[in-house]
Amino acid sequence: MLLTVDELVAGYGNSQVLKGVSLRVDRGEVVTLIGRNGMGKSTALKAIMGIIRPRAGRIGFNGSIISGLPEYKVARAGIGLVPEGRGIFPNLTVEENLTAAANNRHRRASPWTLPSVYSMFPRLEERRRNLGSDLSGGEQQMLAIGRALMLNPLLMILDEATEGLAPLIRKEIWSSLEALRRQGLALIVVDKNIGALMGLGDRHYVFEKGDVVWSGTTAKFHSEQNVVTKYLAV
């Protein structure tokens, strides 16, 4: 097992958001987190990444305990994040964004490099000398994914993978994630497009008020959709 999250409790200030969340991600597996806004999905990702410190529970990754480590150490351990809002450096060029933290710490045999990222997202190569602030929302999301890939992570996390993007760009992003799945990169994906998540993911976790209330495969999701839908209705 690549990532194990056991009885995770976390929140902000005096507010407790996660009440004991547990989940697993195996090597090469795509896992999705599903639920309405405010149910704890992003908080779980921030706790895994070390952006917020868990109040209780344990997070294990690649054979080590990473609970409570700062964000940069979690990244060094092999987790790449594509955050909600993209988080690119607006005053750096596309190429500078991609190379700023590039490494192959885990000695990937065929590491992600500028040419391989440009091959996946040709538009980034076309705009490699443009500042991040000059890019469209879709181009910024491609850049955020490319930057995470340049870390050559063992696991990549995407929070709101296609939020606010035009339909053609969303299709391109889903295609790129499918390509990463075929290459064996483990993914955690959060998005509101349930159909796309079902097509991409191996297993799914449904969040409701800081708890995981359902988990299972895509086949199980479809067979129990009448049970699951009540947690997804607005």
- Residue 94 counted as domain residue: no
Give the mean model confidence (pLDDT) for residues 144-151: 96
User: Which CATH number does the domain housing residue 174 bear?
Assistant: 3.40.50.300
Give the mean model confidence (pLDDT) for residues 141-149: 96
- Residue 121 counted as domain residue: no
The answer, yes or no, to whether residue 200 has pLDDT greater than 90, is yes
- Residue 78 counted as domain residue: yes
The pair of structure tokens assigned to 213 is 């209330």
- Residue 23 counted as domain residue: yes
- Residue 37 counted as domain residue: yes
How far is 5 from 25, CA to CA, in rounded Å? 9
Share of the chain above pLDDT 90, in %: 87
Give the mean model confidence (pLDDT) for residues 70-92: 94
Give the mean model confidence (pLDDT) for residues 75-101: 94
- Residue 119 counted as domain residue: no
The answer, yes or no, to whether residue 233 has pLDDT greater than 90, is no
What's the pLDDT score for residue 234? 63
**For residue 226, what pLDDT band results from cuts at 50, 70 and 90?**
confident
- Residue 83 counted as domain residue: yes
Give the mean model confidence (pLDDT) for residues 196-219: 95
- Residue 72 counted as domain residue: yes
- Across all residues in the chain, what is the average pLDDT? 94
Is residue 151 exposed (0-12), middle (13-18) or buried (19+ Cβ within 10 Å)? Answer: buried
The answer, yes or no, to whether residue 229 has pLDDT greater than 90, is no
State how many domains the chain has. 1
What's the pLDDT score for residue 210? 94
Give the mean model confidence (pLDDT) for residues 13-23: 93
Q: Which domain holds residue 175?
A: 3-88+154-231
Strand residue runs (E) in the chain = 3-12, 15-25, 30-34, 56-61, 64-65, 79-82, 155-159, 186-190, 203-208, 211-217
